[in-house]
């Protein structure tokens, strides 16, 4: 026998569950689209402290305009790119964080740095919950 759970529209648990479901659905759809667009890329879902995110890492061949280097012909370059698509908890939409480099030899080090940045993504106001909009957090020693 199936059990039906009825919640009042607007019940906080219902709203939170719907948001998590929307984030999961958005992330899953984005991952599927990226896999189709970039079949050679590494695409996956990752859990960040903020919530679920989609990760896409791919290499791309570019032609950099030679005029930037004082040359007549374009200069070929291979770059590696990582994209994080983070569905927003605060409403419809998502944040897209992109990093690209030609320095592929140090890719692991860049990923370590980007991991720290992505773990810091938050929907909270800077300075914590006790900071009002007009009030600036106090600067610590050496931060002037």
Q: CA angle at residue 114 from 42 to 104, to 5 degrees?
A: 60
95 inside domain: yes
45 inside domain: yes
The pLDDT, as a whole number, for residue 126 is 74
The pLDDT, as a whole number, for residue 89 is 81
75 inside domain: yes
> Structure pTM?
0.69
Residue 71, domain extent: 41-115
The pLDDT, as a whole number, for residue 128 is 59
30 inside domain: no
Tokens, residue 63 = 């032609």
4 inside domain: no
User: How many domains would you assign to the chain?
Assistant: 1
- Nearest to residue 48, comparing CAs of 99, 85, 3, 103? 85
16 inside domain: no
140 inside domain: no
Tell me the Cα Rg of the chain: 21
> pLDDT by residue (tens digit) across 10-67?
444 433 444 556 888 889 999 999 999 999 999 999 999 888 999 999 999 999 999 9
The arithmetic mean of pLDDT across residues 116-137, rounded, is: 68
> pLDDT by residue (tens digit) across 77-123?
999 999 999 988 877 788 999 999 999 999 999 999 999 999 998 87
The pLDDT, as a whole number, for residue 56 is 96
Q: What is the 3 state secondary structure string of the chain?
A: CCCCCCCCCCCHHHHHHHHHHHHHHHHHHHHHHHHHHCCCCEEEEEECCCCEEEEEEEEEEEEECHHHHCCCCCEEEEEEEEEEEEECCCCCCEEEEEEEECCHHHHHHHHHHHHHHHHCCCCCCCCCCCCCCCCCCCCCCCCC
């Amino acid at each position: 026998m199936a059990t039906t759970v009825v919640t009042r529209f607007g019940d906080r648990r219902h709203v939170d569950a719907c948001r998590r479901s929307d984030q999961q659905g958005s992330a899953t759809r984005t991952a599927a689209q990226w896999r189709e667009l970039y079949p050679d890329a590494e695409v996956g879902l990752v859990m960040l402290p903020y919530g679920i995110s989609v990760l896409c890492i791919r290499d791309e061949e570019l032609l950099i305009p030679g005029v930037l280097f004082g040359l007549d012909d374009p200069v070929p370059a291979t770059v590696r790119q990582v994209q994080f698509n983070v569905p927003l908890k605060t409403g419809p939409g998502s944040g897209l964080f992109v990093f690209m480099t030609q320095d592929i030899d140090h890719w692991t080090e860049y990923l370590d740095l980007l991991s720290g940045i992505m773990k810091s993504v938050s929907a909270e106001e800077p300075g914590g919950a006790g900071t009002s909009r007009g009030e600036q957090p106090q600067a610590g020693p050496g931060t002037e």
